[in-house]
Amino acid sequence: MATKSLKARNNDIANTSRQLEILSNGIFADGELPTFAAKIKETNQFPLRPKKLEILQINLGYMCNQVCEHCHVDAGPDRKEIMTVETMQQCLDVIKNTGAHTLDLTGGAPEMNPNFRWFVEEASKAGIKDFIVRSNLTIIRANKKYYDLPEFFKKHNVHVVSSMPHWTRGKTDKQRGDGVFDKSIKALQELNAVGYGMPNSDLKLDLVYNPSGAFLPGDQMALEADFKKALKADFNIDFHHLFAITNLPISRFLDYLIASENYEDYMYALVDAYNPSAVANVMCTNTLSVSWNGWLYDCDFNQMLNLKVASKVKHIKDYNEDLLQDRNIIINQHCYGCTAGAGSSCQGTVA
């Protein structure tokens, strides 16, 4: 598997306008499949508009210790885009005043940002109801300086959400890299040891499941039951919930789809599984995404496609929640990934 990001490899797909071109051409341009806009017009859901803001998702940087095959961020050790203290301060000002009940820190590996701990400490003072850190698990075992992360998370009552594509080593390592499974298991056991994920524990530990290939996720509850059974029996691991997330056809996953000649079949599968009731609850209707350099997006996927919010306010330094709420959400064919089947969001299914 690749050890460098698409960007470092100068891959054509690293260019966001090239990605948008692919998503707009071919089967969508020749009318073989309806565009996402045409599809949501069928149920009078165009233009897509925000509802009440519930989640502020902040990307602390694209640097990561892993180079996962499906990563929509194109994250990796070679990515140097990291949020500065100045931008973090602007985010903190917003966090103190936002109406959102959830703060969701993501990356890359957010823990690799040198000011991560300071930012968590400051943000936790704002009294946000649900404070999520998306941890890839292996970071906890990557270097001694991260070994105490479970204790650090506990101290600040952080809700840990971690990626785990399968309960078997083979499938996990194929998607996320050799050795990832064993390290992830060790990290989960350490999180359990400080109380995370235990039955009735307030220290929330949820897992994220992404399919390891060109297929959609199965039923979230059934997968959760299978994960729980296997992780308990094999490794005595406990966790709370599993979020089944569909891979969106952008960035490295798009590159994989094209290289493996699965792109068209995958787009057909997404369109065939289109569920209008998922549209009403897609995450862009209750979330705002902030990039490492402070720009605002409808969601993390639009961030990776460099599609900034269609609002006068485009940057965290000018943040105005009322103005931002009055906008049309930017859509393209990748949005089919969030409306397939039971729907998909960073919080799992939506329909």
234 near other proteins, rule: CB under 8 A: no
Region binding other proteins by CB under 8 A among candidate stretches 48-56, 64-72, 162-170, 311-319: 162-170
Cis preceding-peptide flag for 108 (omega within 30 of 0): yes
Closest to 103 in 3D by CA, of 123, 81, 118, 121: 123
Shortest Å distance, C-beta 209 to other proteins = 8
Q: Do 30 and 265 meet the contact criterion of CB atoms below 8 Å apart? A: no
Pick the binder of other proteins from 131, 153, 167, 292 (CB under 8 A): 167
Closer by beta carbon to other proteins, 82 or else 237: 237
Size of the site for other proteins (CB under 8 A): 19
Region binding other proteins by CB under 8 A among candidate stretches 51-59, 120-128, 220-228, 292-300: 220-228
d(CA 228, CA 220): 12
Shortest Å distance, C-beta 247 to other proteins = 12
CA angle 24, 258, 224 (to 5 degrees): 95
Q: Which residue has 């930017």 as its token pair? A: 330
211 near other proteins, rule: CB under 8 A: yes
118 near other proteins, rule: CB under 8 A: no
Long-range contacts, stretch 17-24, CB < 8 angstroms, 24+ apart: 19/250, 19/251, 19/254, 19/305, 20/305, 20/307, 20/332, 22/254, 22/258, 22/263, 23/249, 23/250, 23/254, 23/332, 23/333, 23/334, 24/332, 24/333
Closer by beta carbon to other proteins, 7 or else 174: 174
Residues 263-302 that bind other proteins (CB under 8 A): 268, 272
216 near other proteins, rule: CB under 8 A: yes
185 near other proteins, rule: CB under 8 A: no
169 near other proteins, rule: CB under 8 A: no
Chain residues in the site for other proteins (CB under 8 A): 166-168, 170-171, 209, 211, 213, 215-219, 222-223, 226-227, 268, 272
